[in-house]
Amino acid sequence: MTMYHLPALLSESIAGLNLKPDGVYVDVTFGGGGHSKAILDNLTTGRLIAFDQDLDAAVNIINDERLTFLNQNFRFLKNNLRYLGFTEIDGLIADLGVSFHQFDTQDRGFSFRSDAHLDMRMNRNAPLTAADILRTYDEEQLAGVFYRYGELDHSRRLAKAVVRARSQSPVITVNDLVQAVGGMVPPNQENKFYAKLFQSLRIEVNRELDALTEMLSQALQILKPGGRLVVITYHSLEDRLVKNFIRSGNFDGTSEKDFYGNLIVPFRAINRKVIVPSETEVAGNSRARSARLRIAEKI
pTM comes to 0.96
What structural domains and CATH numbers belong to the chain? 10-100+208-298 (3.40.50.150), 105-206 (1.10.150.170)
Q: What are phi and psi of 292, to 5 degrees?
A: -135, 125
Render the burial of 101-128: b for 16+ CB within 10 Å, e for the rest: bbebbeebbbbbeeebbbbbbbeeeeee
The reported pLDDT for the residue numbered 195 is: 96
pLDDT tens profile 112-171 = 999 999 999 999 999 999 999 999 999 999 999 999 999 999 999 999 999 999 999 999
**Beta-carbon count within 10 A of 84 CB:** 12
Mean pLDDT, to the nearest integer, of 213-229?
Answer: 98
CA 110 and chain centroid, separation: 14
Sign of CA dihedral 215, 218, 223, 229: positive
DSSP string for 240-273: HHHHHHHHHSSSS---EE-TTS-EE-SEEES-SS
**Among 142, 296, 282, residue whose Cα is nearest residue 229:** 296
Give the number of other Cβ atoms within 10 Å of residue 188's Cβ: 7
Give the residue from 182, 257, 209, 228 showing the smallest Cα distance to 89.
228
Band (pLDDT 50/70/90 cuts) for residue 1 is: very low
